[in-house]
Chains A and B, each alone.
Chain A
Amino acid sequence: MKKYLLPSIKLTIVLVVLLGGIYPLLLAGIAKMAPGKGDGVTVMHNGKVVGYEQIAQKFTEDKYFWSRPSAVDYNAAGSGGSNKAPGNEDYLKIVQERIDTFLVHNPEVKKSEIPAELVTASASGLDPHLSPAAVYIQVARVAKARAISPEKIKQLVAANTKQPLLGMLGTPTVNVLKLNVALDELK
C-alpha cells in the first residue's frame, strides 16, 4: 500500500491540474467563437436583452403565448420537475386546475382539444418550447387580445416552427419566447 501511496498523490495532483483546470479553460476559449460566446444565447427586443433563447419565461397575459407549466416557477436560478407520480391524486387536482384556468382564458377551445403538454410541468421547469399543436390552440386567444387576424398570427407561428432534424428525426418545436418577441415586433 505504502509503495503506491506517493505515486497516487502525485499523479492525482497533475491530473487535477489537467482535467480540472486546463480542460475547462481550453473549452471556455473555444466557446468565444460560438454563438453567445459560451455565456448562453440571449434574445434581444428593442435593443435590450429580454431573456435567454433556451430558458422558458412565465407568460400569463392573454396577448402572449403561454409556456408550459413549471415546477420551479420559471426561476432559472434552479431547475427541476414536479416528480409527481402519474396516479397521485394531489397531482391530478393540480392538472384539473390548469385545465380549468386554460378553458377560462380560451373559451373557444374544447376540453378534448387541450394538448397534455400545456397542463403538465416540464422536466427542467424551463422548457422553452411547445409543439406546434400547443401553439395553434392558443392562436384565437392571442388574436383577440391583440386585435390581429388569426391568419396573420398563424403565419407567424409557421415561420417560427422548427421542423424535426433533417425533416425526419425528433419532434417539431416552437420557441415560445422568440415567437412572443416576434409578436411584439409585428407592425
Chain B
Amino acid sequence: MNTEILGVIATYGLTLLLAWPLARYIVKVFKGDKVWSDFLLPIEKLFYKISGINPKEEMDWKQHMKALLTINLVWFVYAFFALFFQDKLPLNPDGNPGQSPDLAFNTAISFLVNCNLQHYSGETGVTYFTQLFVLAFLQFVSAATGIAALVVVFKAFKDKTVTNLGNFWEIFLKTITRILLPLSIVIAVILIFNGSPASFAGKDTIVTLQGDTVNVSRGPAAGFIAIKHLGTNGGGWFGANSAHPFENPSYVGFITEMVAQVVIPIAMVFALGMFIQRRKFANVIFAIMTIGMICLLIPTMQAEMAGNPALSHMGIQQLTGSMEGKEVRFGPAATGYWSTVTTIISTGSICGFHDSMMPMTGLMQLLGMMLNCLYGGCGVGILNYYIYIIIAVFISGLMVGRTPEFMGHKLEAREVKIAALITLLSPFLILAGTALAAYVLVHHPDADWAVKPGAWLNNPGYHGFSEMLYEVTSANANNGSGFEGLGDNNVFWNVSTGFILILGRYLPILGPVAIAGLMAKKKYVPESAGTLRTDSVTFGVMTFAVIVILNALSYFPALALGPIAEYFSLYK
C-alpha cells in the first residue's frame, strides 16, 4: 500500500490509542480522584492564595460565565496594549515595530478566542516578548477556557437535579497545570530533538554554498508550536506556520503535531461518556463525528493525490499529486489529512497552503469549518455538537408527538429558543460578512486602506470569492486558517473579523452552558419506555441528518459561487 496513505492511517490510529488513556486521566482530574500529577497541588494552592481565590466555593452556571467573561476581558486589555507597544518592550532582537491599532485589536481578539487568524507574519509582525508573554499565554488560557466551559456542562449532565457546578477557577487552573502544560512540555521536547529551535537567539546571517547572503529567522518556537496544537489554536511562530521546516521539521514532527492537535478533542468525547457514565451515548457521538470526518477526508485526499488537472494539460508528471504550496517531507496525502483535521477541529494550523489546493479540497475545508462540530476545538467542539443534539431532540419529539427530554430533564421553549438562535448565528455571520466584503470590493475598490479592496484578492474569479468566504468562515468558526493570498491586514478585515470572532466565540459558549445549566435545575424525570433514547444509533443518525440538512440549507448557495463553480471550470 502507498506509504503516504499508510502514514495517515497510522497517525490517526496512534491518536485513538493515546486519546483513551488521556480521557481516563482527564475524568479523574475533574472528578478530584487521586492522580500522579497531585504533586502539583502545592503550586496550585499558592496560585489560589496569591489570587485570593477559594477553589471550594461552588458556582451556578451564571457565576461560571461571569468569571469566564471577566478574566477574558482582562486578557483582551493586556494583549491589546502589549501588542500595540511591543516595539518599546524587551526581547525584540529583530527590531520589529509595534502593531497598528486595528491589527493589535484583531490579533488580541483572535488569540483570545482560540482562533489565531494572524493578519501579520510571525517573523516580522511580533516580537519574542509578545510571542511568548502574550500569544503563547493566550494559547494556553483560551484552550483552558473552552475546556472549563465544557466541564461545567459535564457536571450539569451528571447529576439528577443540581444548581452548583463546581468552581470555575479550579477547573480552569487544573486544565492548565494538569493537562495542557505537562503535555506541551512532552510535545515540545519531541520537536526540539527533531530540529525545532528553542533558544532565544535572534536572526542569523549565513553565506550559502553558492555564495548568497541570507538571513534565517529563529527563536524560542518549540514551546509555542506545542501549545498551538494541543490547545487547537493554530497560530504559527513563523509565517508559513507548520509548513515551515523549523516549525515542523520531519515526518516524526508531523505525526507529533497531528496527534497533538486532535488528541484532546477526541479524548473529551470519550471523557464525556466516562464522566456522566453513559459510555454508549458518547460512543455514538464519536462514531457520528468520525463518519463526518471521513466524508470530508476521502474527497480531499483523492483530489490532492490526483494532482492539478491544469498542470496535467501542460504535459508534466504529477507522480505524487498536487505539489504547489506543499512540502516534500509530508506529501499531498498527509497534507490533505492535515487540512481536513485542522478545519474540523478549529486548529487552523497548516502544513500546506489551502489557497493552492484543489477546489474539492477547498469545499471540504469550508464545510469542516461550517459544521465546526466534528470533534471540534478544545471544549467548544462538543458544545457545538450539543446544540445540534438539542435541535435533534426537539425535532424528534415533534415527530413522535412527545414532550422532548434530554438526560432526564424536560426540554422546553426557552432552551429550544437558545439553541435555535445559536444555530442561526453562524450562517448569519458568515453570509452577511462575506456579502459585506463582496459589496465593498465591488463598489469601493479604491477605498484608502492599507490594502485597497481592489487589491485584496490574490486570485481572480470564483477562487477570489472563495478567499473572502473562507476568511469570514474561519473567523466565525474561530479556526484561524486562511486562503492566505487574501490581503487581510487592513482596517476592514481587522475590524470586521474582530467582531465576528467575538460573537462566534462567546455566544456558542454561553448558549450551551445556559441550556445545560437551566435543564440541570429542573425536576428529574426518570427514563421510561416512552422516553426518546438519545444513546441509540437511530438518534445518532437523526443528529447527523439535522447537521447535514441545516448546513446544506444555510451554505449551499455561497459554496456554489465559490469552490463548486471553480471545480466545474477547472475540470471542464
* CB nearest to B351 among chain A residues: A123
A180 contact set on B, CB distance < 8 A:
209
B3 contact set on A, CB distance < 8 A:
164, 168-171
Q: Please state if B218 and A39 are interface contacts (CB–CB under 8 Å).
A: yes
Q: Beyond A11-B51, A165-B251, is A85–B463 a contact (Cβ under 8 Å)?
A: yes
A6 contact set on B, CB distance < 8 A:
52
The reply on A155 being an interface residue by CB < 8 A is no
A103 to chain B, nearest CB (A): 10
Give the dominant DSSP class at A's interface. Answer: mixed
Q: Beyond A23-B181, A83-B353, is A171–B319 a contact (Cβ under 8 Å)?
A: no
B433 contact set on A, CB distance < 8 A:
none
Interface string of A156-171 (1 = CB under 8 A from B): 0000000011001111
* A80–B384 CA distance with the chains assembled, in angstroms: 33
- Residues of B242-272 at the interface with A, using a CB-CB cut-off of 8 Å, are 243-246, 249, 251-252, 254-255
* A19–B10 CA distance with the chains assembled, in angstroms: 32
Q: Please state if B244 and A79 are interface contacts (CB–CB under 8 Å).
A: yes
* CB nearest to A112 among chain B residues: B315
A24 to chain B, nearest CB (A): 5
Q: Beyond A85-B459, A86-B322, A129-B328, is A15–B212 a contact (Cβ under 8 Å)?
A: no
Contact of B217 among A20, A78, A81, A113 (CB under 8 A): A78
A74 contact set on B, CB distance < 8 A:
212, 214
* CB nearest to B67 among chain A residues: A4
* A82–B132 CA distance with the chains assembled, in angstroms: 28
The reply on A124 being an interface residue by CB < 8 A is yes
Residue among A49, A87, A96 with most chain B CB within 10 A = A87
* CB nearest to B358 among chain A residues: A86
The reply on A145 being an interface residue by CB < 8 A is no
A30 contact set on B, CB distance < 8 A:
189, 192, 198
* A154–B134 CA distance with the chains assembled, in angstroms: 50
Q: Beyond A14-B50, A31-B192, A99-B314, is A83–B566 a contact (Cβ under 8 Å)?
A: no
Q: Please state if B217 and A50 are interface contacts (CB–CB under 8 Å).
A: no
The reply on B101 being an interface residue by CB < 8 A is no
B336 contact set on A, CB distance < 8 A:
none
Q: Please state if B209 and A40 are interface contacts (CB–CB under 8 Å).
A: no
A40 to chain B, nearest CB (A): 5
- Residues of A70-119 at the interface with B, using a CB-CB cut-off of 8 Å, are 74-89, 91-92, 95-96, 99, 111-117, 119
The reply on B137 being an interface residue by CB < 8 A is yes
The reply on A148 being an interface residue by CB < 8 A is no
Interface residues on A, range: 35 or more
Q: Please state if B459 and A127 are interface contacts (CB–CB under 8 Å).
A: no
* A75–B204 CA distance with the chains assembled, in angstroms: 12
Chain B interface, number of residues (Cβ within 8 angstroms): 117
The reply on B324 being an interface residue by CB < 8 A is yes
* A37–B198 CA distance with the chains assembled, in angstroms: 8
Q: Please state if B252 and A165 are interface contacts (CB–CB under 8 Å).
A: yes
Q: Please state if B216 and A40 are interface contacts (CB–CB under 8 Å).
A: yes
Q: Please state if B206 and A170 are interface contacts (CB–CB under 8 Å).
A: no
A36 contact set on B, CB distance < 8 A:
195, 197
Q: Please state if B484 and A127 are interface contacts (CB–CB under 8 Å).
A: no
B325 contact set on A, CB distance < 8 A:
81-84, 120-123
Q: Please state if B185 and A7 are interface contacts (CB–CB under 8 Å).
A: no
The reply on B108 being an interface residue by CB < 8 A is no
A75 contact set on B, CB distance < 8 A:
214-215
Q: Please state if A10 and B51 are interface contacts (CB–CB under 8 Å).
A: yes
Q: Please state if B70 and A40 are interface contacts (CB–CB under 8 Å).
A: no
A104 to chain B, nearest CB (A): 15
* A125–B243 CA distance with the chains assembled, in angstroms: 9
A128 contact set on B, CB distance < 8 A:
245
* A53–B193 CA distance with the chains assembled, in angstroms: 14
The reply on B439 being an interface residue by CB < 8 A is no
The reply on B174 being an interface residue by CB < 8 A is no
B42 to chain A, nearest CB (A): 14
- Residues of B74-109 at the interface with A, using a CB-CB cut-off of 8 Å, are 74-75, 78
Contact of B317 among A7, A16, A112 (CB under 8 A): A112
Q: Which residues of A contact B (CB under 8 A)?
A: 1, 4-12, 14-16, 18-21, 23-24, 26-28, 30-31, 34-41, 45, 48-61, 64, 68, 74-89, 91-92, 95-96, 99, 111-117, 119-131, 133-134, 164-165, 168-171, 173, 177, 180-181, 184
List 6 interface pairs A-B (beta carbons < 8 Å), by A numbering: A11-B169, A57-B208, A79-B121, A85-B355, A120-B322, A123-B353
